[in-house]
C-alpha cells in the first residue's frame, strides 16, 4: 500500500534539480562514505546465492539460513553435491524455500557447466541463471564486481517515488531515472544509500522524517515529525 501510494504521488511532483540531487547524495556520502549491503557472503558465489534467497525475505532471515548452508556448501560444486533436499533443509525458515533450493542447485550446476564454476561479470549471463532477475544481477554486479548499477528493491522504489527523486511506475523506470540523473561520482553507492534510507528512515508505515537527511528536499506532503 505504501509503495502504491508513493508511486501515485510520484506522478504529481516536480522533478528535482541537478543541484538538489547532488546535495542529497553529498549528504548521504558524508554520513556513510562506504555503505555495504547487509547480506553475509564471502565471495561472488555466496553473494549470488544470498541475493537469490532474499526474494520476499529479510536480510536478517537470509543470514540466519545461509550460516549453516554456506558452512556445508560454499562453492557451486559443493552446492550441487549437497543436493536440493539438503539445501531446502538449511533454508526451510525462508518463504518459498523449496523453489529457492531448486534454483540454487540448478544455478550452481549451470555455473559449472557454462562458466567453469565462476560467477560471470555479465548481466545477460547472470539473468540466464534460474532465480536471477535484473535486481539480483544488479546487486551482484555492483557488490562483487564494482559496477555502478542501481538495484531497485521495494525500499528504494518507495524512496524514489515518495521523495520525488526518481518517480516511476515500475522498478525499471525508477532504475533508469536514477541512472540518468545521479552524478557518476555517486553511482557505485547510490542504491545502498537509498535502500538503507528506505529500510531504516523512510519506512513504509511510519517514516522517521525527523531523522531524515533530505527532508527539506523531499516532495512527500505527509511528513511524520
Supply the residues annotated as catalytic: 135, 153
Q: Which residues of 210-219 are buried (b: 16+ CB within 10 A; e: fewer)?
A: eebbbbebbb
12 vs 145: CA distance, rounded Å:
37
Pairwise CA distance, residues 154 & 57, whole Å: 12
> How many Å apart are CA 28 and CA 34, to the nearest integer?
10
Sequence-distant (≥ 6) Cβ neighbours of residue 217 within 8 angstroms: 16, 20, 23, 24, 163
Amino acid at each position: 500500500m505504501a509503495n502504491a501510494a508513493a508511486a501515485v504521488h510520484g506522478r504529481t511532483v516536480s522533478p528535482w534539480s541537478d543541484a538538489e540531487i547532488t546535495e542529497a547524495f553529498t549528504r548521504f556520502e558524508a554520513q556513510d562514505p562506504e555503505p555495504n549491503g547487509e547480506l553475509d557472503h564471502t565471495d561472488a558465489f555466496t553473494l549470488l546465492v544470498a541475493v537469490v534467497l532474499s526474494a520476499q525475505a529479510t536480510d536478517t532471515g537470509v543470514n540466519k539460513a545461509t550460516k549453516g548452508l554456506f558452512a556445508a556448501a560454499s562453492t557451486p560444486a559443493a552446492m550441487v553435491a549437497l543436493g536440493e533436499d539438503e539445501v531446502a533443509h538449511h533454508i526451510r525458515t525462508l518463504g518459498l524455500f523449496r523453489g529457492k533450493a531448486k534454483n540454487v542447485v540448478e544455478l550452481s550446476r549451470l555455473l559449472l557447466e557454462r562458466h567453469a564454476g565462476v560467477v560471470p561479470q555479465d548481466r545477460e549471463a547472470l539473468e540466464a541463471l534460474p532465480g536471477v532477475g535484473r535486481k539480483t544481477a544488479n546487486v551482484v554486479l555492483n557488490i562483487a564486481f564494482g559496477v555502478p548499477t542501481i538495484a531497485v528493491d521495494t525500499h528504494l522504489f518507495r524512496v524514489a517515488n515518495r521523495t520525488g527523486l526518481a518517480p516511476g511506475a515500475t522498478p525499471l523506470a525508477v532504475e533508469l531515472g536514477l541512472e540518468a540523473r545521479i552524478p557518476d561520482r555517486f553511482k557505485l553507492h547510490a542504491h545502498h544509500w537509498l535502500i538503507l534510507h528506505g529500510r531504516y528512515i523512510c519506512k513504509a508505515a511510519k517514516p522517521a522524517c525527523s531523522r531524515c537527511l533530505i527532508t527539506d528536499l523531499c516532495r512527500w506532503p505527509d511528513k511524520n515529525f
